[in-house]
Structure 1
Amino acid sequence: MGRPMIDRVFAIRGLLLAVFVLMAGNGFMPTLLAMRMEGAGASAPVVGFMASAYFFGLVVGSLTLTGVVRQVGHIRTFATVVTVLSSSTLFYSLYQNAFLWSLLRLTDGMCVAGVFICLESWLNHRADAQSRGTILAAYMIALYSGQAVGQFLLGLDTGVMLPFVVSSILVSLSTVPVLLTKIDSPPLPDDGEHLSLRALYRTSPLGTAGTALTGVMMGAFYGLGALYARRQGFALSDVALFVSVVIAGGVALQWPLGHLSDRMDRRLVIVLVLASIGVTSLVLALLTDHLVIFGMGALFGGFVFSLYPLCVAHANDRLTASEQLSASSVLILLYSGGAAGGPLLGSAAMAAFGARGLFLFMAALGLGGLGFAMWRMYRTDAVAEEDQQPYQILPRTTPAAAALEPASQSSDDAL
């Protein structure tokens, strides 16, 4: 990274710090809430319903809060949603009830969507064609590292209120670098035309289906992965480590797999990833040795986290440059919709088969996706290697993130 790029990242350090602190404070909440509900004897479907409420809130917030930003601006919107998020975090400690906590998770999802819309549109405003990839990479590092580090705050779960208080403090502190930033607020976003889901599927069936499939798997893992680990006999500290290992594996394998997909038929890499998801999931479902679970968890995370950007890149291989931005927005919403359904379906599998049911469900999804990918390879020709768009690690947050992608700039910078 050259000095000009370092300067560009340094210029947005306040926004990156806000992402890191907020994810450190809020990223461990799904794990904490699942553990609290499990300790109270809640069934897997109840935990799954609560997890789905968060992702449903993320979808609702993504669709509605852009209008709020347009009316009152980025700073006021950011301060409002973070204040509500901090308050809802404290509210969990007052009364433990599955229905109430599901409503709070719905609220959390909407608030986090507002945070992402503000920060991502701000980052997009600061990026140009030369620095876009660097800024996106720095944003992803801040987001994932905050999420992974936050898992270790689960060790604070020694009293009723302490972890919620610490979470609320961190969430509240995330406003400080934003409210004190000297960066000008970006222009308020305009409504744009979106490529229809039907048109997108006609253009890239595998990219579209693979994105939804990734959402289902990731939603199921984030909502129920901690519950799976706990029911496999993990101590609370090891539950946090397991979730962190999966996230770390997801970060580690994305670049090698993306690099490989740029040099061959990308569908072959998607087939490899789906097959690997099926195999690692079966191992996680059938074996109980904790070291094996950690190792397979890292591999599972690497393959599942890679699937979304691979599917987006594959879809963009078949889209024109002018279609890629609107398609990316649709794909993010499709991912979020899948994530909302994932915990419900995964919890049903756990209710039927016990803890291993979660990864039996993942294996079925991976192998089912593998069959669909092989069918698509049989039905259509590959995109020529020279016509493939470069792979890019991507956030799976809100449609505002689509503007951060190099695809939105020009055909030369496209995904």
Structure 2
Amino acid sequence: MMASFNSVRTLLVAIFMLMAGSGFLSTLIAVRLEQAGQGALLIGLMATSYFGGLTLGALKVAPLIARVGHIRAFAAFVSFYSASSLSYAIIDNVAVWTLLRFADGFVMSGVFVCLESWLNRVARPDNRSAILASYMIALYSGQAVGQFLLNLGDNAPALPFMASAVLLSLSVLPVVLTKIQQPTIEASAPFSLKRLYEASPLGILGTLATGVMLGAFYALGAVFVQRVGLPLSQVALFTSCVISGGVVMQYPLGRLSDRFDRRRVIIACMVVTAMLCAGIAMVREPLAIFAVGALFGGFAFALYPLCVAHSNDHLDESERVGASSGLVLVYSVGAAGGPMLGSVAMASFGPAGLFAAIGAIALAGALFGFWRMAVSKPVPEAEQQDFQSLPRTTPMAAVLEDEG
């Protein structure tokens, strides 16, 4: 593990700094809009704009990176994101912020493609899993730690945006100084959504539902915490607890799915997620909200890699990279729609409407899973592929997981 870490440590440092500097911006922007008296619908639209840019970027950035090279492309993407972060503090205009969030999503997709293709260049069959695990740790720990930068804005509203820009700018240094040879980007074969659904209906619809749920949470979780009366310092703690819970629970739930019919584990996660959403909507004690939130993250975050693994169980090895890439895009589409669903629910039913909507999607996913179990046979345990924890970033993550 340490040898694998050392081979890509410069990239992992860059990933950690990037996520620490950018991972809290969606929370910060939601908080600022809420404090300015903007409604949940506008806050949801802002998040939809970001996920829309992320989805488009996943489809379009690869030719640009191939043309100018990874180092130049990475520096350009991060430089724009750094300038964008400062722009939020300078320009107080909702329309401009919406355009900036779309551009942020697009360039962040480029950053992920650069880093994930670079990691894939270094990964070998004997260290691929260790490198992917290191990437996941750097990604989510940076995102969790970065949430606490929200607290810098108590007395200086511009300071969190400035801190974001500093961290993003510094993340360029490990990359431009790396000795790792630049890779080439090889596009995976296209995989039709019709073929993907025919292979694994629960895999693709479970992925879509997960995107809707987590897109709604990332967009409006901070708004929920504020509207139930918790201070800004606890907004950061709540978001960090959810992300941390998601990291901790993925591996044990994945290993459980390797031993049993994976559909049962997916359905169980959906049902438990719906129950936890009901709990979050009802409780008001801070410690209870944090504890239930961590459990919510644990079961909800596990759904994406579980659905990818279930889909892979129904595919030939040659099809898995293209299929996993397709599932990333399906997740992104769901994440783009989730904020609008959550914002409509909050506007209609108050703060609890967010988790009521997320819980309803989870319950619908569970019911669909029960139907699939009734009409189709399980994959024999001997034919199930080993579970692999995966980030929900770009199709290049699927390449990192599946090649070798």
Give the TM-score band, short-chain normalised.
over 0.9
The 1-side partners of 2:248 and 2:377 are apart by 31
1:161 corresponds in structure 2 to 158
When normalised by structure 1's length, the TM-score is 0.96
Cα deviation for residue 8 of structure 1 reads 2.4
Counterpart code for 2:97: W
Cα deviation for residue 287 of structure 1 reads 2.3
2:140 aligned counterpart, secondary structure: helix
Contact 1:68/1:77 (<8 A) preserved: yes
1:377 corresponds in structure 2 to 373
Counterpart code for 1:160: P
RMSD: 0.8
Which ranges in structure 1 are unaligned for 5 or more consecutive residues? 410-415
2:250 corresponds in structure 1 to 254
2:296 corresponds in structure 1 to 300
1:209 corresponds in structure 2 to 205
Counterpart code for 2:164: S
Contact 1:195/1:327 (<8 A) preserved: yes
Cα deviation for residue 284 of structure 1 reads 1.0
Equivalent in 122, 127, 134 of residue 126 of structure 1: 122
The 2-side partners of 1:192 and 1:329 are apart by 8
Cα deviation for residue 56 of structure 1 reads 0.5
Equivalent in 126, 132, 148 of residue 144 of structure 2: 148
1:130 aligned counterpart, secondary structure: coil
When normalised by structure 2's length, the TM-score is 0.99
Counterpart code for 2:403: S
1:396 aligns with 2:392: yes
1:64 aligns with 2:64: no
Q: In the TM superposition, what are the counterparts of 1:260-275 in structure 2 within 5 Å? A: 260-275=256-271
CA-to-aligned-CA distance 1:58-84 (integer Å, 9 cap, x gap): 011111110101111101100000000
1:282 corresponds in structure 2 to 278
Counterpart code for 1:176: L
The 2-side partners of 1:367 and 1:267 are apart by 14
The 2-side partners of 1:192 and 1:15 are apart by 23
Counterpart code for 1:131: N
The 2-side partners of 1:266 and 1:193 are apart by 26
Counterpart code for 1:108: D
Counterpart code for 2:170: L
2:32 corresponds in structure 1 to 36
1:92 aligned counterpart, secondary structure: helix
1:321 corresponds in structure 2 to 317
2:124 aligned counterpart, secondary structure: coil
Counterpart code for 1:183: I
Equivalent in 23, 40, 60 of residue 27 of structure 1: 23
The 2-side partners of 1:97 and 1:38 are apart by 14
Cα deviation for residue 350 of structure 1 reads 0.3
Cα deviation for residue 288 of structure 1 reads 1.9
1:357 corresponds in structure 2 to 353
Cα deviation for residue 268 of structure 1 reads 0.7
Contact 1:281/1:360 (<8 A) preserved: yes
Counterpart code for 1:143: L
The 1-side partners of 2:304 and 2:92 are apart by 35
2:216 aligned counterpart, secondary structure: helix
2:181 corresponds in structure 1 to 184
CA-to-aligned-CA distance 1:241-273 (integer Å, 9 cap, x gap): 000000011011111111110001011101110
Cα deviation for residue 286 of structure 1 reads 2.1
The 1-side partners of 2:186 and 2:249 are apart by 36
The 1-side partners of 2:325 and 2:364 are apart by 25
The 2-side partners of 1:372 and 1:211 are apart by 12
Counterpart code for 1:122: W
Contact 2:188/2:321 (<8 A) preserved: no
Contact 1:212/1:334 (<8 A) preserved: yes
The 2-side partners of 1:387 and 1:408 are apart by 19
Identity of aligned residues (%): 53
Counterpart code for 2:181: D
Cα deviation for residue 367 of structure 1 reads 0.7
Cα deviation for residue 98 of structure 1 reads 1.8
CA-to-aligned-CA distance 1:188-241 (integer Å, 9 cap, x gap): x13332110010001100000000111111111111100101111111110000
Contact 2:112/2:393 (<8 A) preserved: yes
Counterpart code for 1:273: C
1:412 corresponds in structure 2 to none
The 1-side partners of 2:319 and 2:393 are apart by 20
Count matched residues. 403
Contact 1:321/1:408 (<8 A) preserved: no
1:41 aligned counterpart, secondary structure: coil
2:83 aligned counterpart, secondary structure: helix
Equivalent in 170, 174, 180 of residue 171 of structure 2: 174
2:90 aligned counterpart, secondary structure: coil
The 1-side partners of 2:353 and 2:79 are apart by 37
1:408 aligns with 2:403: yes
Which ranges in structure 2 are unaligned for 5 or more consecutive residues? none
Moved >6 Å (runs of 4+)? none
1:243 corresponds in structure 2 to 239
Contact 1:324/1:408 (<8 A) preserved: no
Contact 2:11/2:175 (<8 A) preserved: yes
